[in-house]
Amino acid sequence: MAAYLIAGVDEVGRGCLAGPVVAVALILPPDFTHPLLRDSKSLRPAQRTHLAALLWEAALGIGIGMRGPRYIDTHNILQATLAAMQEAIENLPLAPNLVRVDGPHLPVCSYPIQACIRGDAQYPEIAAASIVAKVLRDQLMIRLAAQYPPYQWHKNKGYPTQAHWVAIQKYGPSPLHRYTFLRKGPLLL
């Protein structure tokens, strides 16, 4: 009898000033457990990186979706997040029996789907997706930091730190900044 496959879906980067929103859909083996498998925000960076590597090896399937700053500016962050989640689900290499999404909003999906408030704290497949998404996006922002050093993305990953705002004020926004987010911040660009 085939296993009942549940995909967990989570995103990272909604509150950033720069870079994409990244979503991951991940199917764990039904018997997978790990003592650190919980919401990515509760783990130290080294723990997240270690666990993400284990999850890449153990997962039955991983799909990734991403929407960049111009899409976010044009459509808004919620629509960008839902589009990234839809893409992640569509990029899964096998069909799940159920998709569990962290949060109250559901993307378009051709599989049975469930919204799970605080799902990353309740369901291991959502926690796993959260960890992989966070590590993927952090690694991307670290690589992009080399092209845009004043913004210190290697430290802030695009989030709105004081140093990040100061760099935007001094150098102006980069092409990877979300211009609609900058109008809401202390600079009102």
Q: CB count, 10 Å around CB of 54? A: 15
Please give the average per-residue pLDDT across 116-124, as a whole number.
Answer: 95
Domain boundary assignment for the chain: 6-182
| Phi, psi (rounded to 5 degrees) for 23 | -120, 145
Please give the average per-residue pLDDT across 84-92, as a whole number.
Answer: 99
**pLDDT tens-digit profile of 121-155?**
999 999 999 999 999 999 999 999 999 999 999 99
**pLDDT tens-digit profile of 22-52?**
999 999 999 999 998 976 778 899 999 999 9
- Distance, in Å, from the CA atom of 59 to the CA atom of 79, rounded to the nearest integer, reads 27
- Distance, in Å, from the CA atom of 134 to the CA atom of 116, rounded to the nearest integer, reads 19
Q: What is the DSSP letter of 88?
A: H
Prediction pTM value: 0.94
| Phi, psi (rounded to 5 degrees) for 6 | -115, 125
68, 67, 37: which is closest to 132 by C-alpha? 37
Alpha carbon of residue 186 to chain centroid: 25
- Distance, in Å, from the CA atom of 19 to the CA atom of 171, rounded to the nearest integer, reads 17
Largest CA distance in the chain: 62
**How sure is the predictor about 1, in pLDDT bands with cuts at 50, 70 and 90?**
low
- Distance, in Å, from the CA atom of 40 to the CA atom of 43, rounded to the nearest integer, reads 5
Q: Residue type for 139, please? A: Q
* CATH class of segment(s) 6-182: alpha beta
Asked if residue 67 has pLDDT above 90, the reply is yes
- Distance, in Å, from the CA atom of 108 to the CA atom of 130, rounded to the nearest integer, reads 19
